[in-house]
Each structure stands twice: as structure tokens, then as C-alpha cells.
A and B are shown apart, each in its own frame.
Chain A
Amino acid sequence: MTTRELTCIVCPIGCTLRVTILGDGDIKVEGAMCNRGVEYGKQEAIQPKRIVITVVKVRNGEFPTVSVKTSKPVPKECIWKVMKATANIEVEAPVEIGDVIMKDICGADLVATRRVRRIISQKD
């Protein structure tokens, strides 16, 4: 039965959680001020996951990039797969917030978080 201490990252408060994996495989989380923290603590013990935030190149848009995020947290070991996948793609403007840029990567979708309007040439 091991207990580790970790900081919850779900919201700015950052509760210190004490996560114990019990003998029967159950996980006890103490110190969380809300349920989301409890869930985070459990997940962190089993398989740490993170939301990945990055940008993807855009063609013919008012900005040369669109900001994106994974629709839900992905396993930490998988972060690089997501990042590598963003390295070689380019999307065509216009892009709306919520547009799916890439489907099914590490169990989540990559969705746009910035509107990029279409213009023919990029300036400034």
C-alpha cells in the first residue's frame, strides 16, 4: 500500500492530494476540494493523462496557424504521438472553433480553438 503526494492540476487552487493504491486495487484520494480532483487523483495513479495544446499550420488564413487542443486528456506517453502528428499537416482556412482538425489520435480528437478567417494572401 503506497501513498504518494501530488498536486491537482484541474483548477488554479492546486490542492495537495494524497493518493493511495489499496490492496484490493481500489484507489483512495484525500485532500481534494471537489470531485474533479478525486477523479484526477485516481487517473494520475492509474494512467496519467494530459490535454495537449498546440498549433497547426493554416493555408490562406488571417493567421498562419490555428490553435488546437485534444478534446479530452490523452495518456502522457502518447503526447509525443499527438505532437508528431501536428508536424506535417496543414489545414485550409476558414477554421471555426470546434472544427475537428484530426480525428482519433490517442483516443481523442484534435479540435480548433481559434477562429481563422479566410483571406487570399497572408499579410502582416
Chain B
Amino acid sequence: MRIVIIGAGVVGLSIARVLSMYKGLDIVVVEKEPDVGWGASKANTSIIHPGHEEDPELHPLRARLCVEGNKLWRQWVKELDIPAKWPGELMVFTNSEEEKEALRYIDTARRNNVPGVRAVYGDELRRLEPAISPMAVGAVYAPTAGNISPFEAVAALAENLVENGGRILVNTLVKSVRIKDKAVEGVETSGGFIQADIVINAAGVHADEISHSAGVEEDFVIRPRKGEYIVFDEDTSVKPLRLLHTTPTSLTKGVYAITTTGGDLLIGPTAVDMPYELKEDTSTTLEGIEYLLREAGKLLRELPPRSLITRTFAGVRPEPPHGEWLIKVYEEPWGFINVAGIRSPGLTAAPAIAYYVADMISKSYAVSLEHRSDWKPYRRGFLRLHGKSLREIDELVSVNPDYGEVVCYCRTVSKAEILEAVKRIKTIGAQVTLDGVKFRTKAGFGRCQGSFCRWRIAGIIAGLEGKEMHEVVVKMERYGLGDVKKMLREGA
């Protein structure tokens, strides 16, 4: 049975992973970008939420799958070798109004069976978080919160899927779902028609368009909601221990200040509704930066100077109507499944969503799901120089001398890692791009933002692919226009 999943983000690939555990399923993930996870999956706050912020009356599915997802990720990060930490989170309040709002979540925690959630004040708060702002009156502490490296999670899921026989088709845009006789036939894509028995729509901000093309849920419209972020470099002196965030209001979920798994200080997101046409607008704004720096003052005792902002970025959330996830299996057209509008806690719930979808397929479509005995749960990340002791580095280099050639000074990334990243991109069937290598190795993420190493990495890729340096693709377009004499030859 052929299952086509539209969208190689964290949700689509999680579903793919779970489905790959069963016999008789040919899984194909179709992705419009050159690589996996380039939508919201790589531009989010990276939090694995405990689930105490999900109202079980208003959003029962979100609440349940969030709590389940939190548990499942603990296992998945080990199996898939994804960087993760579990420091717990503090929902900080700075006045009595915010306090009242924050304390309500303790009750929500109880109703959702989220363990350990309690209010902390004064010395206990400062012990839990030495970097806490003096503006903080107290906080609601939820010990089961964690954060992961979201892009590495997606890359790991993709590698593990391919290892287990799944396929990923990049640069393949799904234009519509083909229905015949009230059943799914397949998907029309930029690369031609792909037959499918079941089509799972996990297309992020474009999921509503896909659903409409299948003639389903005409009223379901995704509103793009942009979230901007600021990143300060890893050697900033300000590093919160816990995941800090402001108390949610009716308008926003709150701004986070966290230390990422890579060691950077991440502050964000904003929450700005965008016009429908601007679904892929990931531009940053001055207002966004100002807002985040102000909010961060409620969380952190001190902020690094603005001149140390390493980068800013934005992600677009696929906001569904009423915040309600649309996860549904359809009898008509048979074979079409919506997993749409997966806004927060989407990342957290992804593994749970995957099992939920598998369960629905088994029940609603009477598909017999039998575990494969040859399913491989484990995937190893590659070895990195960064953070290793001298002894460990020496050993690493003695096994592979390419580890002895450091290409990115800021993040200590070696040639071996560049080569490994290229290899893994190819293994999952993605296109080799500078960005893909950057996201996998963290080269170019440091202080210099690639001004030293980008051309060196392009040179390595050019050599590997037998290309000219200017032909290396950065993201979608090439690194350079052509050779330096191009304009003179063509007549300026």
C-alpha cells in the first residue's frame, strides 16, 4: 500500500517514521523545498512542552497529544541521537494580574496529569534560575519541559525513515490531490503524477490549499502568524538554566528566553497575524526586535548588548481557525487524511500525532498494521569536534584526519563534518545546498555568520560535486552569478 505524505516537516516525518514500523507500507514523503524541514520546523522555539498550557476542555486533542508527545520525545531523542535537554520551564509573572493568570495553569496541569507543576517565589525562584530578572515576582515551574534541536530532529527523522525503506522526494511541489470515484488516486506534482492509496496532508502553511484541492473542508483556512526571534552567540555571559517565558495573555502565548541545545541565547517569538498572501514571508522587523528585547527584560537579569545579536529570523505558524487542529480521516474521498493547522504544541505533539494517525488509519480504513521485525529504531548523529576535550579530538582525528581540518573557526566545524553532512543530505535524497550543510553542521552559525567559512565550504562542495564554486546552491539560488568575467563576456 502506497502512502504519500505531503510535507517533510517534523509532523510529516514523524508520521512517516511511525508508519514505517509496519509491514506492507510504501512510504513516500513529498517536499517542495530542496531539503527537509525548511518550513516552520526549523524556525520555532524548539520547546517540548509539558502540556499544562493546553486547556483540556477547549482543546482536548492538543492537550492529550502534547502530554503524550512530551513522553515520546524522551525516547525518540535517544533513539535518533537528537540533541535535547530537559531543564524544566518557568512561566514568569511580574505583577498580580499576571500571577493570577499564571496560577490557573497549575489547575490545568492537574487536569492534564502533568507532574510537578507548582508556583515558586523569591529564593527558590532564584535558585532555580540564577539569571532571573529582578522584575519577576514569581513563576509557575513545570519540570517536564525540555528543548531539542528542531532541525537536527527533522534531519534525524529523515535519515531514519530512509534507512527503513521510506523515500523522500525534494523539489517536488504538490499542486493538487487527484480524486476519482470518491477515492484518492494520488497527487499531481511539479514532477508529474505520483500514485497513492492514502495521502496524508502535512503541508504546513499550505495545508488548507491541499485540502481544498481534494474538495475537502472548504471553510478551513490557515492564517499565517509570524514569529520573530533574536539569537545571541553562544559565548554570551547570559545563559538561562531553565526555559523562561512570560505569562501568556489572550493575545500571545508569551515570549521565551532559552539556552538552545547549541548553547545560544534565543529570545522569541513575536506573534503577528499576516495577510493570507504572505504565507511564506519570513522577514524580520525592527518593531519585532524591539518588542522581544523589551519582553526579555521581564525574564533575564541582564541582556547582552544589542551589538552582540548574532542573527534574527522568523518563522510562520500555520494558525487554524479557533486554534483547532484538523486531524481527520475521510471516508469521502477515501484515503485522504488531513493533519493540518498544527500550530503550537505541534513540535511537542508530533510523535503522538504520528501514532494517532496510524491508529486512525488502522481503525477507519481497516488497514492491518503489523510490526516489521526488521524495523531499525536507531540512528546515530555524526561526531562533532565542538565541545570535545583535547584527548577526544586527538582520537577523532587519528581515526579520520579530515577532523583535523577546521573549516569554521567560530563553531569549530571540521572538513569531516562538512563531508558527512553532504553525504547524509544525499542519502535522504535531498539537494546539496550550503544552507543544508550549515543547518546540519552549525558551520556559519557563529559570530562571523559565515563570512570566513562560507566560501571554503562552497569550495569543498564544488569539489565534491564537480561543480564550479559559483554553481553551488545556497538555499534556492546559486552562490554567485557566474565566473568573474561573465558580465564582460556577455557585454555590459
Contacts and interface: CB of A to CB of B under 8 A. Distances in A.
Interface of A: 55, 57, 65, 83-84, 86-88, 123-124
A84 B460 contact: no
B interface bracket (residues with beta carbon within 8 Å of A): under 10
A84 B460 CA distance: 31
B390 interface: no
B488 interface: yes
Contacts of A123: 459, 463
Contacts of A65: 484
Contact of B460 (A57, A86, A124): A124
B485 A88 contact: yes
Nearest to A124: B459
B483 interface: yes
A65 B489 CA distance: 16
A88 B483 CA distance: 11
Nearest to B407: A124
B175 interface: no
B456 interface: yes
B142 to A, nearest CB: 49
B485 A57 contact: yes
A88 B489 contact: yes
Contact of A87 (B460, B463, B488): B488
A84 B488 contact: yes
Contacts of A57: 483-485
Interface string B439-475: 0000000000000000010011001000000000000
20 contacts: A55-B484, A57-B483, A57-B484, A57-B485, A65-B484, A83-B488, A84-B488, A86-B485, A86-B488, A87-B485, A87-B488, A87-B489, A88-B485, A88-B489, A123-B459, A123-B463, A124-B456, A124-B459, A124-B460, A124-B463
A83 B484 CA distance: 11
A55 to B, nearest CB: 6
Given A57-B483, A86-B488, 14 more contacts: A55-B484, A57-B484, A57-B485, A65-B484, A84-B488, A86-B485, A87-B489, A88-B485, A123-B459, A123-B463, A124-B456, A124-B459, A124-B460, A124-B463
Contacts, number: 20
B128 to A, nearest CB: 49
With most chain A CB atoms within 10 A of its CB, the pick from B459, B483, B485 is: B485
A84 B489 CA distance: 7
A87 B456 CA distance: 25
Contacts of A124: 456, 459-460, 463
Contacts of B460: 124
A86 B485 CA distance: 8
A84 B490 CA distance: 10
A57 B459 CA distance: 17
Contacts of A84: 488
Nearest to B486: A87
The 7 closest A-B pairs by CB, nearest first: A87-B488, A87-B485, A87-B489, A124-B459, A83-B488, A84-B488, A123-B463
B89 to A, nearest CB: 45
Contacts of A88: 485, 489
A87 B488 CA distance: 6
B22 to A, nearest CB: 46
B131 to A, nearest CB: 42
Contacts of A83: 488
A83 B489 CA distance: 10
Nearest to B490: A87
Nearest to A56: B485
Contacts of B489: 87-88
A123 B405 CA distance: 14
B481 to A, nearest CB: 14
Contacts of B484: 55, 57, 65
A47 to B, nearest CB: 24
A124 B415 CA distance: 11
Contacts of A86: 485, 488
A124 B489 CA distance: 26
B235 to A, nearest CB: 28
B133 to A, nearest CB: 47
Nearest to A85: B488
Nearest to A84: B488
A84 B459 CA distance: 27
B209 to A, nearest CB: 44
A40 B16 CA distance: 73
A61 B129 CA distance: 57
Nearest to A121: B463
Nearest to B489: A87
Contacts of B456: 124
A89 B19 CA distance: 58
A25 to B, nearest CB: 37
A52 to B, nearest CB: 12
With most chain B CB atoms within 10 A of its CB, the pick from A55, A84, A124 is: A124
